[in-house]
Amino acid sequence: MNETTMLPFTHASFQQHLSAHRLMGSRCAACGAMHLPPRAICPACRSAQMTWVEFSGRGRLAGFTSVFIPPTVMAQAGYGRENPYLSGVVELEEGPKISARLLGLDAAHPEGISIGQPLVVDFIDQGDGEKRSTVLAFRPLS
Ligand SMILES: [Zn+2]
């Protein structure tokens, strides 16, 4: 047991784990369902008996979008019409699907990206000090 196993099953805790480059979700002790991001109450059986579980970080691409018109924070980071980025949905080998940034794929040529291709987790650290945050990302499994 370490201190992270005591965290509540919230999005803030999920982010805290991401900052430590760990992909952590919850597993229902009653029915075994796994949730990512973590859930405090199991949507399958309504149990509140959750434990933290670390996901392998391996999955497959379930869908994606090339973003040419970004939200403000991404525009400030230099993304836009001339420099699109990829946002995707990844189906993890444990079952849950999660949306994330996609790295190592060509956002300007999405015809070269295959649904179902194997991916592995990556973490984008941005900002410093109090403003430091980590964004969940995946890249092709090489
Ligand atoms: Zn359950």
Q: What are the chain's domains?
A: 3-54 (no CATH), 58-140 (2.40.50)
What are the residue ranges of helices labelled H in the chain? 11-19, 72-76
Lowest mean pLDDT among 1-5, 23-27, 30-34, 46-50: 1-5
Q: Please give the pLDDT value at position 118.
A: 98
Q: How far is the CA of 34 from the centre of ligand 1 (A)?
A: 8
Give residue 31 CA to ligand 1 midpoint distance, Å.
4
**Whole-structure pTM value:** 0.90
CA of 49 to the centre of ligand 1 (A): 8
- 45 alpha carbon to ligand 1 midpoint, in Å? 4
Tell me the CA–centroid distance for residue 77 and ligand 1, in Å. 40
Q: Which of 4-13, 31-40, 66-75, 129-138 shows the lowest per-residue confidence on average (mean pLDDT)?
A: 4-13
In whole angstroms, give the CA distance from residue 86 to residue 72. 16
How much is the average pLDDT of 30-42?
95
